[in-house]
Structure 1
């Protein structure tokens, strides 16, 4: 399985109400329906709404290549787990990707590396692609950031079934700030993560993307160091999202030598 040339993820977190989210899905679906880069699969777009918004998202993006994700997943497949949603059910209703290990869940809900590993395994054994978030909490040197991030990746994959994944490098100290981490820092850590994945034959087709105040111009600046971006509130503006998709299209054309 070959990974797309660029992967773009958008998390809605809990910012939109149900009607607002449904309207946003419709606007995005209209905007990307005939976008060449999305249609060809060169740019992969993943939309990750709340659980209650998953079904209208699946309906809105039916007939488009846009993938729908979920913001969390249970580590078990069934049973007496009040409030949880299983990977099996998510797959059944049309979800393709599950976000796992976001810094907010690690901090607010005390999710340990063991919890993250259980959820990663649950996603893979049910045919879902984990979108695993890793990254250092405090601003540290590049070597230490790489050590921590690769360590989180290794912990999440302990005893995990085979399958490709998406790793989102999100230095926690850069999330929600006015600007992303320095380009040299991002490229070094993402290169380390990609190298770790490339050593695993069972992870062929995986991608490494960057999140943490990601916005316009960043993808172009990072060049071949990353496989895409994980976008937050910036992409809640549909026009801004399309701007990043256009930038991703330009990056694809440059990488493939295609003429604009």
Structure 2
């Protein structure tokens, strides 16, 4: 049975003490969920080594919040995929709306990052989403599918099955975000899968993993996960404390 992916990115929050305490509590309880769930956590860069040592040998996958589009070179401040692999990272986030809007990350850069990560045997976590204007203009599906197709350009069907796609509507992200309804999320998830299978006849729908992120919390998690094409959840502030993350793991486990 396909496992449900439940993960959290801490963004630029936390410290070493928080990381240690969070993972200690999580690791003491997470094994009861892992028959049906694939948990993953994405701390800030400075805590990757510490987190890697703590989660080693567990079912928890460690993620990075970003990666360079090239494997080495004179790129001050960047971190390459081979470096991340050395620290036990197995999931690499890219294309988050904050990276796109604040740091100029383009669809082309996302595609390059996908290839860098796959070349190192890690899993890309590609974030895609529509803006409030695109939703108002009724072009959400077109916008999101375009981002997905560019991100996967040149990626084989076999490698597509290793990619995680996170649908994160821009209007649903952040402290004042409004969560997409389960129905809204499901429409986009289904459209992503339909268009990819249409473009790639040899690709199975079951091989495509699309998770939802955008103001996920304990109140809407079960309803989102009840939708057929929602393969997991990518959680922000509701999981920045371990108790919140465990609560959503429990909801996912009981679905």
User: TM-score higher than 0.5 here?
Assistant: yes
Answering whether residue 239 of structure 2 is matched by residue 240 of structure 1, we say no
Answering whether residue 76 of structure 2 is matched by residue 72 of structure 1, we say no
1:225 to 218, 224, 229: 229
Hey, which bits of structure 1, 4+ residues long, moved more than 6 A?
Answer: none
Tell me if the contact between 1:10 and 1:48 (Cα under 8 Å) persists in the aligned partners. yes
RMSD: 2.0
Cα distance in structure 2, aligned partners of 1:142 and 1:190: 19
SS at match of 1:133: strand
Aligned position for 1:107? 101
Cα distance in structure 2, aligned partners of 1:242 and 1:195: 32
Q: How many positions carry a matched residue from both structures? A: 245
Cα distance in structure 1, aligned partners of 2:14 and 2:195: 36
SS at match of 1:79: coil
Aligned position for 1:23? 21
Unmatched 5+ residue regions in structure 2? none
SS at match of 1:158: coil
Cα distance in structure 1, aligned partners of 2:7 and 2:193: 18
* Deviation of the 1:202 alpha carbon: 6.3
Alpha-carbon spacing, 1:187–1:242, altered in 2? closer, same or farther (3 Å):
same
Cα distance per residue 1:95-136 (max 9 Å; x no partner): 100001000000100111111111111111111111000011
Unmatched 5+ residue regions in structure 1? 252-260
Aligned position for 2:150? 155
Cα distance per residue 1:187-224 (max 9 Å; x no partner): 10011112234454468733101000001142321312
Tell me if the contact between 2:5 and 2:38 (Cα under 8 Å) persists in the aligned partners. yes
Cα distance in structure 1, aligned partners of 2:125 and 2:251: 22
Moved more, 19-28 or 181-190: 19-28
TM-score for the superposition, normalised by structure 1: 0.87
Cα distance per residue 1:39-77 (max 9 Å; x no partner): x2x200110011111111111112210000000001111
Aligned position for 1:45? 39
Alpha-carbon spacing, 1:205–1:58, altered in 2? closer, same or farther (3 Å):
farther
Cα distance in structure 1, aligned partners of 2:41 and 2:197: 26
TM-score for the superposition, normalised by structure 2: 0.89
